[in-house]
Amino acid sequence: MMHMTGPSSIRITTLNLRHGGSSRVPAIADWLLETESNVIVCTEFRQGASGDRLSERLAQAGYVHRVAASQVSALNTVCIFSRHAVEAVHVDLPAKEQHRLAAIRIGPLTVAGVYFSQLKAKLPLFEYLLARPKELLGPAVLTGDFNTGLHHLDEDGATFYCANEFRRLSQTGWVDAWRLINGDARDFSWQSNAGNGFRIDHAFVTSDLAHRITRAVYDHSPRSGLTDHAALSVDLSHLV
């Protein structure tokens, strides 16, 4: 195994690109660079022309390390970009779920990016996470588009699928970073065409990292023409 020393503090930002970003990629890349993140987790990343353009622009700015969950062209997947040397982490998922989770290791820290399916199809990925896989035991960060949340708190009603599985994450060693900082506040990361708000983009940390969280915020500015999701950034300090 490769041994690396990671940064003492880190900012991890996740953003759903909306169908790979397409013609919006240059503006999305510029926006992501303004976050001054160490690690960027892109969901709905697509291999091909859009993915190549985004990867090239980020690499030019120093994000030369990249791990994607799938190499299949035009498939909505997850891609993690890092300024720091990384080691790709193998995850033992069923073949049809492998494009939904990418993981890297930076020094002692594991960062996993997820892009959950719709409706009940997200259950297999939850089952994998709730089984406490050894590759994510910690210290680890789990972030991305979960496409679900808590009834009546992360949405006004009770429409989420797999809300119970989402709740169980917090009972199996994971801590909701944004909730830890913001308590029962509400901040929706995506809005339906009907105008209903939902908090579906999340970041969890293993319990050994909870006291390292210094910041967890949504930025809604990408929703003004770049994509339909807010970005979520989490800062961790004193990692080494």
**Predicted confidence (pLDDT) per residue in 161-173, tens digit:** 999 999 999 999 9
Domain 10-236 has CATH 3.40.50.300: no
Place of tokens 């949504």: 218
Place of tokens 């023409």: 225
Burial of 32 (0-12, 13-18, 19+ CB in 10 A): buried
**pLDDT per residue as tens digits for the range 74-103:** 899 999 999 999 999 999 999 999 999 999
What whole-number percentage of the chain has pLDDT above 90?
A: 94
CA gap 192, 37 in Å, rounded: 28
Q: How many other CB atoms are there within 10 angstroms of residue 71's CB atom?
A: 10
160: region left, alpha or beta (phi > 0 left; psi from -120 to 50 alpha): beta
Domain boundaries, the chain: 10-236
* Side-chain half-sphere exposure of 90, counting CA atoms within 13 A: 3
Query: For residues 204 and 148, is the Cβ–Cβ distance under 8 A?
Result: no
Q: Would you give the distance in Å from CA 12 to the centre of its chain?
A: 8
Burial of 19 (0-12, 13-18, 19+ CB in 10 A): middle
CA gap 132, 116 in Å, rounded: 17
**pLDDT per residue as tens digits for the range 142-196:** 999 999 999 999 999 999 999 999 999 999 999 999 999 999 999 999 999 999 9
pLDDT of residue 1: 37
pLDDT of residue 5: 67
Residue 2 pLDDT greater than 60, yes or no: no
Taken in order 48, 95, 91, 160, is the CA torsion positive or negative?
A: positive
| 51 membership: H or E segment, kind and range | helix 49-60
pLDDT of residue 220: 98
Task: Tell if the pTM clears 0.85, that is, is over it.
Answer: yes
Give the closest residue to 48 by CA, choosing from 80, 22, 11: 22
Edge-to-edge order in the sheet of strand 65-68: 65-68, 77-82, 39-45, 10-16, 231-236, 213-219
Query: For residues 37 and 233, is the Cβ–Cβ distance under 8 A?
Result: yes
**pLDDT per residue as tens digits for the range 198-222:** 999 999 999 999 999 999 999 999 9
- Cα angle 221, 226, 230 (rounded to 5 degrees) comes to 45
Burial of 228 (0-12, 13-18, 19+ CB in 10 A): middle
